[in-house]
Amino acid sequence: MAAFVSRSSRIGLKALGNISSFNLQNISHGPASMSNSLFTQQQRTFIQMRTNLKVVDNSGAKRIMCIQALKGKKGARLGDTIVASVKEAQPGGKVKKGDVVYAVVVRAAMQKGRSDGSQIKFDDNAAVLINKQGEPIGTRVMGPVPHEMRKKKHVKILSLAEHIA
């Protein structure tokens, strides 16, 4: 049985197992108390301003923060282009901390419907840095990349990916 469980909920369940004097009878099961419960799921939203994303290529950046989504009022989804600021970078990389870069969202925690009726979502938000022409800055892409990138005209990113989901 395959289930998508986020990292934060796994940590919460692990912490729950370490509590020895936890009284389950005090938890009410009404709809008002479910929002305050330990068992509620994290809300999945668009990639919007100030969202931190993991960089999954070898361009030198480790973490970026979204400044603006270039499409849509609410924010960016899987395959959309964003403008971002580099927050963490490796020394000697192609990009430096503080650089403003373009990036394509390759993994998003928000669900996306596929044409066959299935849903896809990932545990993290991840991006690949691109230049103004839309070509990737790095030469390798780590982790899974969804095949919806082909519809968004990011075939070069798919060719660099090690696994296509």
In a domain, 115, yes or no: yes
Q: Which amino acid is at 35?
A: S
Domain count, the chain: 1
In tens, the pLDDT along 44-91 reads: 778 889 999 999 999 999 999 999 998 877 888 888 999 999 999 999
Domain for residue 18, yes or no? no
pTM, two decimal places: 0.71
Region of residue 16 (left: phi > 0; alpha: psi -120 to 50; beta: else): alpha
**CATH at 118:** 2.40.150.20
Give a yes or no: residue 8 inside a domain: no
Per-chain mean pLDDT for the chain: 79
Please name the amino acid found at residue 122: F
Task: Confirm whether 14 is domain-assigned.
Answer: no
> What pLDDT score does 67 carry?
93
96: containing domain = 52-164
122 inside domain: yes
Residue 60, sorted as left (phi over 0), alpha (psi -120 to 50) or beta, turns out to be left
Q: Are 120 and 111 in contact (CB under 8 A)?
A: yes
Give the up-direction half-sphere exposure of residue 32: CA atoms within 13 A in the CB hemisphere.
0
